[in-house]
């Protein structure tokens, strides 16, 4: 077991899998409330390592949130999943959070995190923090990089600020939704 400043890792025997349990006293004050944070088990896989069921679950969750909940018809399958590492967060064996990460040059000039999603019914457990921390750590471990760019939905700036991302440049529309570029140094 190894401890970082905000999370405790419990390595498992499965390659590329570990559990992450946030220590609530280190979360920003507005992220702490009466709801205890449940354990989020994360698995990190390449596209080729994903099973058919895992890929289906990822695409179903992304569609559930980005297309249906946000009422945004867009082409999710963009040909970039094959280059990404997929960070999948599970609770009780069910996919509840997800991101995809890229090394520098595969999406932006910097390493990047995208398609950040948490199932609506699970957001009260603050899995967004856990999946983002796992993604940031995965970039450090897999790409030996700490400079990370994201294209964030503008309404989530405060959330990303708590993870030490800072706005760069002007806002813009992506698929009809206001976005801002953000960098973590």
Kindly report the number of other CB atoms within 10 A of residue 130's CB atom: 28
CA angle 49, 51, 54 (to 5 degrees): 110
Q: What share of the chain is helix, strand, coil (3-state, %, to 5)?
A: 30, 35, 35
- CB of 113 within 8 A of CB of 59? no
CA-CA distances (angstroms) from residue 110 to 83, 92, 153? 14, 34, 18
Q: pLDDT by residue (tens digit) across 26-74?
A: 444 444 444 445 789 999 999 999 999 999 999 999 999 999 999 888 8
DSSP letter assigned to residue 67:
I
Which tops the pLDDT comparison, 42 or 22?
Answer: 42
Q: pLDDT by residue (tens digit) across 100-151?
A: 999 999 999 999 999 999 999 999 999 999 999 999 999 999 999 999 999 9
Domain range annotation of the chain? 2-146
Which tops the pLDDT comparison, 84 or 17?
Answer: 84
Q: Please say if the pLDDT value at position 168 is more than 70.
A: yes
Residues 6+ apart with CB under 8 A from 113: 99, 100, 101, 102, 132, 135, 136, 139, 148, 150
Give the domain 2-146 fold.
Answer: Aminopeptidase (3.40.630)
Q: Please say if the pLDDT value at position 178 is more than 70.
A: yes
Record the pTM: 0.81
């Amino acid at each position: 077991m190894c401890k970082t400043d905000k999370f405790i890792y419990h390595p498992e025997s499965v390659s590329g899998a570990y559990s992450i349990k946030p220590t609530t006293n280190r979360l920003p004050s507005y992220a702490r409330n009466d709801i205890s944070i449940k354990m989020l088990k994360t698995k990190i896989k390449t596209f080729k390592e994903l099973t058919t069921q895992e890929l289906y679950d990822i695409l179903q969750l992304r569609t559930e949130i980005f297309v249906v909940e946000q009422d945004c018809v867009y082409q999710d399958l963009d040909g970039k999943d094959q280059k990404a590492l997929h960070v999948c967060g599970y609770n009780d064996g069910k996919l509840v959070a997800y991101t995809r990460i890229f090394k520098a040059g595969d999406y932006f000039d910097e390493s990047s995190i995208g398609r950040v999603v948490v199932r609506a019914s699970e957001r009260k457990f603050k899995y967004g923090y856990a999946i983002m921390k796992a993604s940031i750590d995965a970039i450090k471990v897999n790409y030996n990089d700490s400079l990370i760019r994201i294209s964030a939905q503008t309404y989530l700036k405060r959330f990303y600020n708590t993870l030490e991302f800072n706005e760069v440049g002007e806002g813009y529309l992506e698929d009809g939704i206001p976005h801002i570029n953000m960098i973590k140094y």
